Amino acid sequence: MKNLFKYGVVALVCVMALSSCNCFKKMGRHTDDISVVANPEMLTLVGNEIVTDVTVVFPEKYYNPKAIVKITPILVFDGGSVEGQPKFLQGSKVKDNYPVIDKKTGGVYTQRIAFPWDPRARECVLELKVEGKCKEGADFVLGGVIPVAEGVNTLQQDLSYADAMIVMPDNFKRVTHETGTVDIMYQVNQSNVRRTELTKEQTKLFEQFIKDNQNRDRVTLGNIQANGYASPEGDEGFNDKLSARRSESGKTAVSRELRSLKGLNYDVAAYGEDWEGFKKLVEESDLRDKAMIIQVLDMYSSAAQRDVEIRNMAAVFAELKKEILPALRRTQMVAITDIQGKTDEELREAIAAGTELNLEEMLFAATLYDDCAKRAEIYKAAADKFGDARAWNNLGIAYAYQNDWKRAEDAFKKAADKDSNPALANNMALAALQNGDVNGAAKYLATASASTKALNDINKGNYASASSNLEGYNKAVAETLNGNLSAAKNALVGNTTAAADYLRGVIAAKEGNASAAAAEVKKAIAKDASYAQKAAHDVNLKGIQL
């Protein structure tokens, strides 16, 4: 690049020497001492702009005090050119407001150069057009054109925004549970089961639940539990024994009713005074003094002390005896079933045959396929059938992995119409970034994940801060842009994708290892032929023979 600069400076001197503006002739005497540096030397795509900083250092006794110099960046590419914002400099005797370059001491200026992204500019040359004049009111005279940089590093475009997207989970369970319960109620201090308890509707429903599930396909009926309780009043020891008698009597009564069913097993347990149930019922009640009762429960852990304190509130205790305590004198009968869901193979067979599945089964079934097109097919069917936000969101991610970003964004918007889940905002931000809509992405970043915010930082050129919140491939891209090639290689360890191979090739090229660069890029092309076209126009691989 230095030779290129010197060539440009020499060309500038020649043109200046022929200029009718004599002050430029004197400025040309020490032109070889001018330093022109682009940082980075290769233009870089940052967000939607092609950027670099150009620094020019003028030597001592070089700049004519009467000269005004206009420096205009020009991006030249096949099919056109674009002029950027010019920079004006002046000598110390010029009465204007431009930065001054002193003749005696020389000077430095840095120009931030930015052009809107144009895909045609991937292979380009950045030039500085230098014009000058020595008299106020005179026209600027072309002094020459200095080549500054070649090509645009578009590594930012290789970020995998899909990797940072959040899948909304399914609720498919390999084993689900259904529970049937009934409370067998008792009189105060009694443990005998009244006949009316066995004929009430809820008891009959409990019995029917057991009958329905004993031989049901894919269903395993567990042991039937008989859990005895006593209301928290009176002697604690007596209540412990009373709850045990209640659990036994409840189990005996229900098992007698179910004697026609074979193979039923029972678990019997006694829990004594039900203070937990007591507190729950008080909290849910309309008792006037319930706050006072709950305060007593929180202040005292001793069952006996609680009983004494509550009995001391005579009016309160009268209400408790009527409204709360009777509901705690019980044996709770519990039956739990394990329901076996479809196997992975059964789900695949159902998808292949077009057999009807429920929403959760479809959402889970999609995850059984590595092919993003197949996943999209299943999610689209689920979204169309059930209109579920999760199906639309996950469909958008499947489209994103296929680089179909228009349909991805449309799917996310449909999901957002049905749900306000933060995952949707995260994914909308990423889709906007991929589509070059940095301002659109900003609307969703407040609730986005740290990795999504980091990807946005890369679009702002903040590579160092971004890399700390990224991992894997995207971290490697950030570290490569940041010039930390060792960290970039570490982030790619174990990644065997074509994208990772290609990035390893770019890293090797930046390290000056042409043979390793070629080998890695060829590996990427063998896995994905589209990388051949990409490599042919990648300035990072300039000079690498494939």
Count of Cβ atoms closer than 10 Å to residue 66 Cβ: 17
- Which residue segment(s) compose the domain that 50 sits in? 2-153
Q: What is the DSSP letter of 285?
A: S
321 neighbors 188 (Cβ within 8 angstroms) = no
Residue 442 lies in a domain: yes
| Cα gap 30→60, rounded to integer Å | 9
| Cα gap 517→155, rounded to integer Å | 15
Distance (Å) of CA 410 to CA 165, 394, 399, 414, 449 = 15, 12, 10, 6, 21
165 pLDDT exceeds 90?
yes
Structure confidence by residue, pLDDT tens digits, 83-128: 999 999 999 999 999 999 999 999 999 999 999 999 999 999 999 9
pLDDT class of 335 with cuts at 50, 70, 90:
very high
159 neighbors 477 (Cβ within 8 angstroms) = yes
pLDDT of residue 12: 46
Mean residue pLDDT of the chain comes to 91
In this structure, what CATH number is given to the domain that contains residue 11?
Answer: 2.60.40.2550
pLDDT class of 82 with cuts at 50, 70, 90:
very high
Residue 181 lies in a domain: yes
| Cα gap 147→144, rounded to integer Å | 10
46 neighbors 35 (Cβ within 8 angstroms) = no
Which of 6-20, 50-64, 437-451 has the weakest average pLDDT? 6-20
Beta carbons within 8 Å of 75's beta carbon, 6+ residues apart: 50, 81, 82, 84, 115, 121, 124, 125, 126, 127
- Run of H or E residues at 183: strand 175-185
193 and 84 fall within a common domain: no
Tell which of 153, 188, 213 closes a domain.
Answer: 153
Structure confidence by residue, pLDDT tens digits, 506-527: 999 999 999 999 999 999 999 9
Residue 166 lies in a domain: no
Helices 314-323 and 303-312 pack at an angle, to 10 degrees, of 110
319 and 418 fall within a common domain: no
pLDDT of residue 8: 44
Tally of domains in the chain: 3
Helices 422-434 and 389-401 pack at an angle, to 10 degrees, of 30
pLDDT of residue 41: 83
54 neighbors 148 (Cβ within 8 angstroms) = yes
| Cα gap 498→285, rounded to integer Å | 64
Distance (Å) of CA 402 to CA 376, 406, 430 = 9, 11, 15
Residue 359 lies in a domain: no
390 and 442 fall within a common domain: yes
Strand partners for 46: 49
pLDDT of residue 410: 95
125 and 210 fall within a common domain: no
pLDDT of residue 293: 92
Structure confidence by residue, pLDDT tens digits, 366-405: 999 999 999 999 999 999 999 999 999 999 999 999 999 9
Q: Please provide residue 428's backbone torsions phi and psi, each rounded to the nearest 5 degrees.
A: -65, -40
Q: Which of 114, 115, 113 has the alpha carbon at shortest distance from 37?
A: 113
Residue 97 lies in a domain: yes
pLDDT of residue 29: 56
133 and 189 fall within a common domain: no
Helices (H) and strands (E) in the chain, counts: 23, 14
Q: What's the whole-number mean pLDDT along residues 476-492?
A: 96
Q: What's the whole-number mean pLDDT along residues 432-455?
A: 92
21 pLDDT exceeds 60?
no
pLDDT of residue 15: 44
pLDDT of residue 28: 54
77 neighbors 124 (Cβ within 8 angstroms) = yes
| Cα gap 161→429, rounded to integer Å | 10
Q: What's the whole-number mean pLDDT along residues 65-85?
A: 93
115 and 248 fall within a common domain: no
Total length of the chain: 546
| Cα gap 12→27, rounded to integer Å | 11
Residue 270 lies in a domain: yes
210 and 140 fall within a common domain: no
pLDDT of residue 40: 83
330 and 187 fall within a common domain: yes
Residue 328, token pair as written in the block: 């705690």
In this structure, what CATH number is given to the domain that contains residue 305?
Answer: 3.30.1330.60
191 and 318 fall within a common domain: yes
Hey, is 368 helix, strand or coil?
coil
pLDDT of residue 18: 39
Residue 503, token pair as written in the block: 């990035």
| Cα gap 534→102, rounded to integer Å | 47
Structure confidence by residue, pLDDT tens digits, 201-248: 999 999 999 999 998 989 999 999 999 999 999 899 999 999 999 999
Residue 361 lies in a domain: no
pLDDT of residue 16: 43
Pairing label, strands 35-46, 152-153: parallel
In this structure, what CATH number is given to the domain that contains residue 519?
Answer: 1.25.40.10
How many degrees, rounded to 5, is the angle at CA 113 between CA 107 and CA 114? 165
Beta carbons within 8 Å of 154's beta carbon, 6+ residues apart: 45, 122, 538, 539
Residue 211 lies in a domain: yes
Q: What is the DSSP letter of 1?
A: -
Q: What's the whole-number mean pLDDT along residues 261-267?
A: 94
pLDDT class of 14 with cuts at 50, 70, 90:
very low
Count of Cβ atoms closer than 10 Å to residue 101 Cβ: 22
Q: Classify residue 463 by burial, with Cβ atoms within 10 Å: 0-12, 13-18, 19+.
A: buried
Which of 305-319, 439-453, 524-538 has the weakest average pLDDT? 305-319
- Run of H or E residues at 331: strand 330-340
Structure confidence by residue, pLDDT tens digits, 276-333: 999 999 999 999 889 999 999 999 999 889 989 888 888 888 999 999 999 999 999 9
26 and 147 fall within a common domain: yes
Q: What is the DSSP letter of 139?
A: P
143 and 182 fall within a common domain: no
- Run of H or E residues at 384: helix 372-386
441 and 326 fall within a common domain: no
Pairing label, strands 266-273, 80-83: unpaired
pLDDT of residue 197: 95
DSSP code string of 393-410: HHHHHHHHHTT-HHHHHH
9 pLDDT exceeds 60?
no
